[in-house]
Amino acid sequence: MATHTLDFERPLLELERQIEEMKRAAGDTVDVTKELRPLEAKLAELRVEVYKNLTPMQRVQVARHPKRPYPLDYLNTVFTDFVELHGDRLFRDDPAIVGGWARLDGVTVMAIGHQKGRDTKENLRRNFGMAHPEGYRKAMRLMHLAEKFDAPVITLVDTPGAYPGLGAEERGQAEAIARSLIEMASLKTPIITAVIGEGGSGGALAVGLADRVLMFENSVYSVISPEGCAAILWKDATQRERAAEALKITAKDLLELGVIDEIIPEPAGGAHADPETAAESLSEALKRHLRQLTKLKIDKLLKRREEKYLSMGALTEK
């Protein structure tokens, strides 16, 4: 049974309780398979129905779910032979950004991602997945290392945003993000980004300028959080539902706008309900795009990357 239940999941929780109580009452002596079957079928149907009709703000809640898989989880399931690399060679190692060599489908790649914590202690160490400038400089160092050895770069995005603290600003947070965008635009190796949870503001974009941008079905990608947007526009953070709708932050919205290239399906109940199936979906998508991109010559790859981002949005002159 889920240990962290979202508001809209409560009907599921009641059915889960009934199933657990029936199993507990039966113990090992009574076979209740026949009685459980209709309840489990009803639970599966209800889970599909609930997750099929989520509002944008509800998808934000799913993207933030504390049991949702993080980059290190996928690095142990989707990838093999992961060797973590540390430090930006300028200031320190930022635990909010993890990265290193790994293999995907037999290909050596550089995998980089935002890492949150599972408990308070780890979240404090990893700063809730909010990177400092040294985190982005570490990511840039690893990307250039990948370029040197002709290895593709794969980034896994899951952050509320770049850390806005005084120390981070003093060490050049905005410059580090801007520099990362410039470097990724011209990096002479394939880049694939997957938004696996929250894709918040420049903190996400700093490692998200890629040849292919993929998003999990219940992940979000936005210039600002719904709460932050509501506080700025309406001076009322409780207007977050309205803000989430207006921001067009869901995978479906962003695919229609041409900001992302593909939606990765999630199991019924979200990636947190079935991490193994979510990992299989991510693995299939990454391998397919990796095979496609590695066939392209670098000149053609860079040209397509340039065209991809120049074609976004519209310019009107008066």
The predicted-structure confidence for 135-148, as pLDDT tens digits, reads as follows: 999 999 999 999 99
Residue carrying the six token digits 């977050």:
240
Q: Is the pTM of this model over 0.75?
A: yes
pLDDT confidence tier of residue 164, bands split at 50, 70 and 90 = very high
Give the mean pLDDT of 256-283. 93
CB 207 within 8 A of CB 139: yes
Poorest-pLDDT segment among 34-48, 165-179, 189-203, 265-279: 34-48
Q: Flag whether pLDDT at 169 surpasses 50.
A: yes
For residues 287, 292, 296 and 299, what is the CA-based torsion angle, rounded to 10 degrees?
-80
Give the mean pLDDT of 51-80. 93
Q: Flag whether pLDDT at 255 surpasses 50.
A: yes
Give the mean pLDDT of 188-204. 95
pLDDT confidence tier of residue 289, bands split at 50, 70 and 90 = very high
Q: How many CB atoms lie within 10 A of CB 314?
A: 5
Q: Flag whether pLDDT at 30 surpasses 70.
A: no
User: Cβ contacts of residue 250 below 8 Å, gap of 6+?
Assistant: 56, 59, 220
Higher local confidence (pLDDT), 33 or 60: 60
Q: How far apart are CA 107 and CA 96, in angstroms?
A: 26
Give the mean pLDDT of 17-44. 72
pLDDT confidence tier of residue 291, bands split at 50, 70 and 90 = very high
Mean pLDDT taken over the chain: 91
Q: Flag whether pLDDT at 265 surpasses 80.
A: yes
User: Cβ contacts of residue 113 below 8 Å, gap of 6+?
Assistant: 70, 71, 72, 74, 75, 97, 98, 99, 155, 156, 157, 158, 196, 207
**How deeply is 318 buried, as exposed, middle or buried, from its count of CB atoms within 10 A (0-12, 13-18, 19+)?**
exposed
Q: What is the number of H-type helices and E-type strands within the chain?
A: 14, 8
Buried b (16+ CB within 10 A) or exposed e, 68-95: bbbbbbbbebbbeebeeeeebeeeeebb
pLDDT digits (tens, 9 = 90+) for 69-108: 999 999 999 999 999 999 999 999 999 999 999 999 999 9
pLDDT confidence tier of residue 159, bands split at 50, 70 and 90 = very high
Q: Flag whether pLDDT at 120 surpasses 80.
A: yes
Give the mean pLDDT of 27-51. 74
Share of the chain above pLDDT 70, in %: 95
Q: How many CB atoms lie within 10 A of CB 61?
A: 18
pLDDT of residue 2: 47
Q: How far apart are CA 92 and CA 114, in angstroms?
A: 16
Q: Which of 122, 14, 107 is nearest to 70 (CA)?
A: 122
Q: How far apart are CA 154 and CA 286, in angstroms?
A: 8
User: Cβ contacts of residue 263 below 8 Å, gap of 6+?
Assistant: 214, 215, 216, 217, 251, 252, 255
Q: Flag whether pLDDT at 26 surpasses 70.
A: no
Give the mean pLDDT of 227-244. 91
CA dist 40 → 15, 33, 115, 249 (Å): 8, 10, 34, 33
Q: Which of 289, 231, 237 is nearest to 260 (CA)?
A: 289
CA dist 132 → 80, 161, 201 (Å): 28, 10, 14
pLDDT of residue 1: 43
